[in-house]
Structure 1
Amino acid sequence: MSLTHVETVPRWRRIGLWSLKVLLAAVFFAAGGAKLAGVPMMVESFEHLGLGQWFRYVTGTLEVIGAVMILLPAFAAFGGALLATIMVGAILAHLFAIPGSPIPAIVLFALSGLIVFAHRDQIESLTRRIFDDHD
């Protein structure tokens, strides 16, 4: 006999999570779009890094991809992980290379981490499929 455990998430939690995902997607889509569009402030920031403007394009592209991913239910955890990883780089850049406060990047890192945590079942499922298939 099989029992299926169905968890019902309270409506307020679903609304709160979707609100966070939409807000975060808008922020990263705007930031990634600014990088891809060559907004002078972004060009200057990446010039300070000294890695070349190609890195601005890569970062902007990854931010836009991450923004889209967090809005797709099947990829939300992976999009959150991608964005959190980008924010680790942004925090380090602000601490060591670019003038300005790392606080916005820290906040975006934490919010991206919340997305990963809320959708951790996706990562657990993928991990289980990868490692259970090889036993």
Structure 2
Amino acid sequence: MDKKIGWGLFLGRVILGVIMVAHGFQKLGHMDNTVQMFSKLGQPEWLAYVTAVIEAGGGLFLLVGLFVVPSAILLGLTMVGAIILVKLPAGLIGGIEFPLALLGLSIILAMAGSDKLSISHLLNNKNGSK
């Protein structure tokens, strides 16, 4: 893989990871508010917990470079949910633009992966594979 592409994927992985960790831990730190918000949207309480854990855990996995593709897929699905359930009525500007950008980054990482400076890369090299 071209070095520029590898570094670009790494930076995208870290940026998405930082943003999702922040959002996930914010939800986890205020679960009563998170559950209430999901309830107002007509969503079950358990979905608030699942979303918070996916955002926090998926973000952490991206930061360390472990399970990048499945984490990016799950994070992308949470962004689809945010777009459809929360942001769509506000339109593009001030509405779906931010989760849409995060969804785009999730799709790129889900399709391309990112092993630059990652635990996955270290584990694969330790096992003798590329």
What TM-score does the superposition give when structure 1 sets the normalisation length?
Answer: 0.68
Structure 1, unaligned stretches of length 5 or more? 1-8, 121-135
Percentage of matched positions with identical amino acids = 30
Per-residue CA deviation, residues 84-118 of structure 1 (Å, 9 max, x unaligned), is: 1111111111226xxx6122111111110000111
- TM-superposed CA distance for 1:54, in Å, is 3.9
Structure 2, unaligned stretches of length 5 or more? 115-130
* Whole-Å separation in 1 of the counterparts to 2:21 and 2:65: 17
* Whole-Å separation in 1 of the counterparts to 2:66 and 2:49: 26
From 57, 63, 69, give the equivalent of 1:65: 57
| Shift in alpha-carbon separation, 1:74–1:52, aligned structure 2, 3 A | closer
- TM-superposed CA distance for 1:77, in Å, is 0.9
Structure 2 residue 113 is matched with structure 1 residue 119: yes
Counterpart of 2:100? 106
Counterpart contact for 1:35–1:42, Cα < 8 Å: yes
Alignment root-mean-square deviation, CA: 2.5
Per-residue CA deviation, residues 44-84 of structure 1 (Å, 9 max, x unaligned), is: 64343133544322211111121123345451111111111
Counterpart of 1:86? 78
- TM-superposed CA distance for 1:17, in Å, is 0.8
Counterpart of 1:38? 30
Letter in 1 for 2:73: A
Higher relative contact order (CA 8 A, sep 6+): 2
Deviating more after overlay: 29-38 vs 47-56: 47-56
Counterpart of 1:4? none
Counterpart contact for 2:79–2:99, Cα < 8 Å: yes
Counterpart of 2:21? 29
Q: Which structure would you say has the larger Rg?
A: 1
